[in-house]
Amino acid sequence: MAIGYQQQQLHIEQLSAQDLLQQYGSPCYVYSKAQLLTNLQAYQQAATGLDALICFAVKANSNLAVLQLFAAAGAGADVVSVGELQRALAAGFAANRIVYSGVGKTKTDMALALKAGILQFNVESIPELQRLSEVATALGLEAAIAIRVNPDVDAGTHEKIATGKAENKFGISWQQVEQVYALAAELPGIRIQGVDMHIGSQITDLAPYQAAFQRMLELVERLQALGHTIDTIDLGGGLGILYPDARQAVSIDDYMALVRQHFANKGCRLILEPGRSLAATAGVLLCQVEYVKQGPGKTFLILDAAMNDLLRPAMYGAVHAIWPVQLHPERASQRYDVVGPVCETGDTFSMGQTLPELAPGEAVAIGQAGAYGAVMASCYNTRALVPEVLVSGQQSALVRRRIEIEEQLSWDQMPDF
């Protein structure tokens, strides 16, 4: 366990959370290098013998230090903006291991990605395809594309992170797709390379994947029969992890077995785009209790971390583990509503959470925060932007400094009038 208790104290690898808080201040994100790599290796090992490229979904955690270690360990990258593309390149991902998804690519975005020489554009609409053709032709370049297919399956996840239903904005509808490939084959500057899907995130059941894979498999065969070259099959990401409220998680091994069962020996290169399942369990948000407030019938544990630091509970009603940094087996337990200081009722991490009694100044860790944590953080309420720390064994390094209030004030300007 890279993140767990040693002698009653929460550790990230060999360092105590308490010491890290002292050194880097509160709140701060801390990631375990070993856990990040273990998660990647789980995919890589399960993919042994398959021609598969594991492209980390950069949106889940785009810190350069995290990206760099995934790049060095042989991963590719899935990006959804040129900002992410620039991060991936800066972190050392070879351009030909980067795929680019997203429904709103601008001409400038396309030009940048074309010049960089990325592996694949995942195209989500006919106007995007036409625009990409124009941009590529003007540059005298060729865009390798996959059409993102919307397989119309219900991923059984939170409505804000489901993407594979017909009513979602993503991909080309199942019925339209052959037409779009026919158009792609005609357009200058476009080279059809593969097919793509991504049905949603925090998926905790294999059934939606099974349904979608079956459709993709049939589609690949149909497209090949129509004479299109299909060299890559991009299956997206979405594998869920075991948050405290998840009924179950799908194991990477079971997921990869399903991938193998459908797509091994098709002569195609497989592309996977996992984000959460690579990063979530490798991170914690460390923070402190500011106040214990007695309300009528309720006790509030007011932390110094808030929804601006970790948005998931406020945005999706997500539940994260909350761990005391120091265990005190002799203490009585208490039910708390764990909240942040931001002036919104939504700034609540957990309701009715049972924890050992805690006092102001004592430290708490919010678990499973390595994915969609720091990347979604903001300075809302003019709070400092939360820093990030990477731990490896007994070493730690600040990988993003805290952006303090003075610096934020300097971002604004007074007008002349």
Active site residues: 343
To ligand LLP, the closest distance from the beta carbon of 201 in angstroms equals 3
CB of 199 to ligand LLP, least distance (A): 10
Q: How many CA atoms lie within 13 A of 135 on its CB side?
A: 20
Q: Enter the tokens of residue 179.
A: 């037409």
Decide: is 119 part of the binding site for ligand LLP (CB under 6 A): no
3-state secondary structure of 202: coil
Q: How many helices (H) and strands (E) does the chain have?
A: 12, 21
**Considering the rule CB under 6 A, would residue 157 count as an interface residue with ligand LLP?**
no
Residue 370 annotated as part of some ligand binding site: no
Element (H, E) at 257: helix 252-263
The annotation status of 255 as a binding-site residue, yes or no, is: no
The verdict on 101 binding ligand LLP (CB under 6 A) reads yes
Q: Is 276 in the site for ligand LLP (CB under 6 A)?
A: yes
Angle, to 10 degrees, between the axis of helix 126-139 and the axis of helix 107-116?
50
> Applying CB under 6 A, does 273 fall inside the site for ligand LLP?
yes
Please report whether residue 313 would count as binding ligand LLP according to CB under 6 A: no
CB of 161 to ligand LLP, least distance (A): 5
* 383 assigned ligand-binding residue: no
Nearest to 305 by CA among 60, 30, 22, 26: 26
Residue 209 lies near ligand LLP (rule: CB under 6 A) = no
Q: How far apart are CA 395 and CA 391, in angstroms?
A: 6
Stretch that binds ligand LLP, among 54-62, 249-257, 293-301, 320-328 (CB under 6 A): 54-62
Q: Which residue has the tokens 């006919």?
A: 126
Tell me whether residue 137 is exposed, middle or buried, using C-beta atoms within 10 angstroms of its C-beta: 0 to 12, 13 to 18, 19 or more. Answer: middle
* 295 assigned to a ligand binding site: no
Quote the DSSP letter at residue 387.
P
Q: Where does this chain touch ligand LLP (CB under 6 A) — which range of 134-142, 268-276, 338-346, 402-410?
A: 268-276
Give the Cα separation of 77 and 81 in Å (integer): 12
Q: Which of 27, 236, 367, 387 binds ligand LLP (CB under 6 A)?
A: 236
Q: Which of residues 345-404 bind ligand LLP (CB under 6 A)?
A: 372
Contact code string over 277-306 relative to ligand LLP, x by CB under 6 A: x-----------------------------
Selection from 340, 371, 366, 341 nearest residue 17 by Cα: 366
Which span (66-74, 263-271, 272-280, 382-390) binds ligand LLP, by CB under 6 A? 272-280
Cβ(200)–Cβ(170) below 8 Å? no
Query: What is the distance in angstroms between the CA of the first residue and the CA of the last residue of the chain?
Result: 59
Min dist CB 391 to ligand LLP, Å, is 22
Pick 302 or 342: Cβ nearer ligand LLP: 342
Q: Which is nearer to ligand LLP, 185 or 375 (CB)?
A: 375
Residue 184's Cβ-side half-sphere holds a number of Cα atoms within 13 Å equal to 35
Q: Decide whether 55 or 303 has the Cβ nearer to ligand LLP.
A: 55
> Which CB sits closer to ligand LLP, 24 or 170?
170
State yes or no: residue 201 binds ligand LLP (CB under 6 A): yes
Q: Check residue 259 for interaction with ligand LLP (CB under 6 A).
A: no
Distance CA 74, CA 97 (A): 9
Total residue length of the chain: 417
320: contact with ligand LLP by CB under 6 A? no
Q: What is the maximum span of the chain, computed from C-alpha positions, in angstroms?
A: 73
How far apart (Å, rounded) are the C-alpha atoms in residues 109 and 227? 30
Asked if 161 interacts with ligand LLP (CB under 6 A), we say yes
Taking the CA atoms of residue 159, residue 163, residue 164 and residue 169 in that order, the dihedral angle to the nearest 10 degrees is: 110
Q: Which residue numbers belong to the known binding site?
A: 238, 273-276, 312, 316, 344, 372
Binding site for ligand LLP (CB under 6 A): 57, 59-60, 78, 101, 161, 198, 201-202, 236-239, 273-277, 312, 316, 372
Q: Which residue numbers belong to the known binding site for pyridoxal 5'-phosphate?
A: 238, 273-276, 372
